[in-house]
Amino acid sequence: MPVPVDALNVATIHLLPKLEDLFFDDHVFLRRIVESGVDKRKSGGEYAAFTVVIDGPGNIAKLVTGSEAYSYGRRNITRQARVYIPTHIYAYAVEGEALRHADGETGIANLLELYPEKANLDFRQRAVAQMLTGNGAAANMDGLATLNGGTSASPVTYSPDGSALTGLFQFEDKSAQTATVQSLVKEAGTSGTTGWYNQFGNVTSFATNGKRTMRSTYNACVVRSAGYGNPTLGLTDSISFNNYYESLDDQVRYATRTSGEEGKDIDEGLMFHKLELFEDPSIDDNAAQFAHGSDGTMYFLNPKTWFMLTLGGDSKMETKGFFEARGPFKLEGRDAWGFELVASFQLACRMLKANACLKGTAIL
């Protein structure tokens, strides 16, 4: 007996909470950011302002005799950043012929795997690839902020509102970082914001200075975190991951695993100090997006400094924001039904200098 489209729609609606969880939970980057916080903007414009922290609030005084007068700090340590929250729609069609060929519960299960679940996976992969590498095309969710900002001479951009904006991290020393990120000019730029920059490490040969550069960059994040602590999430390409793995003695290889649905491992990483380092295939697949190409990329992220901004709050009107499924719609002139996945969110950072990027980690 053919499966009616309404049955597929009802099954999809029941599956939606699972799809929403899987969209974020099945990737360590999205999961850690969402766990850090979600700022839901249910009303107002697409441009969202928020506070970023650039330093500590006080001043230091030295006491010699104990009678010295000192003042309490009143430093302005916050700035107003601003981002645009884009909406991306993943649209797909289920052909009438596929519904006619399906049969009963098994047919619905097969259609769910073939359409909504695969659509959700593809949607998430494109989102992650854009946020980690900035692969650029509108079809690849180029409205989402990317960590990859390239260099001042060769910037990598994203386009949330039609204007090209530089990615958040620049792969160069602090003194060369001059881009405008989240509407704030980095410290080395003209009229730059003091304390607004990312840490950077340049590995010339992993065998020679790989772990030393990782350690010094990690420590720079810790020292300048202003209380946010150490970075706990690392993402890298496969060659860099293997270079780090093979540099460790068997006795000190500490692997970490995260179990997902039905107890299956969805993440497996290696410990570096208190940071978990994970391999991410999107960094390999989009190596051409980096100014340094396939020489190797690492990100050291402090999830406490990151959060998601979402837009919308009503499924019956503008969608609830973050993640929503819509449909089915009969497609005019086609024997097919349309479905949509709608996402309205943006990545944002409160303190760049508690995070880092490294290049050259694939050079052995």
Cβ–Cβ under 8 Å, residues 222 and 232: no
Higher pLDDT pick, 5 / 335: 335
pLDDT tens digit sequence for 2-51:
666 777 777 776 676 677 677 777 788 988 988 888 776 654 568 888 98
Determine, yes or no, domain membership for 364: no
Determine, yes or no, domain membership for 312: yes
Alpha helix positions (H), the chain: 5-25, 28-36, 96-101, 104-112, 118-133, 211-223, 238-247, 281-285
Q: State the amino acid at position 227 in one-letter form.
A: G
Residue 42 belongs to domain with CATH number: 3.90.1690
Q: State the amino acid at position 328 in one-letter form.
A: P
Task: Specify the number of domains making up the chain.
Answer: 1
Cβ–Cβ under 8 Å, residues 332 and 61: no
How many Cβ atoms are within 10 Å of 165's Cβ, its own excluded?
22
Torsion of CA 111, 122, 302, 178, to 10 degrees: -160
pLDDT tens digit sequence for 93-113:
988 888 888 777 777 778 877
> pTM of the prediction?
0.89
pLDDT tens digit sequence for 52-83:
877 666 677 788 887 887 777 666 678 899 99
Determine, yes or no, domain membership for 348: yes
Domain of residue 174 covers 5-63+70-359
Look at residue 284 and tell me whether its pLDDT is greater than 60: yes
Rounded to 10°, the helix 28-36/5-25 angle is 80
Determine, yes or no, domain membership for 238: yes
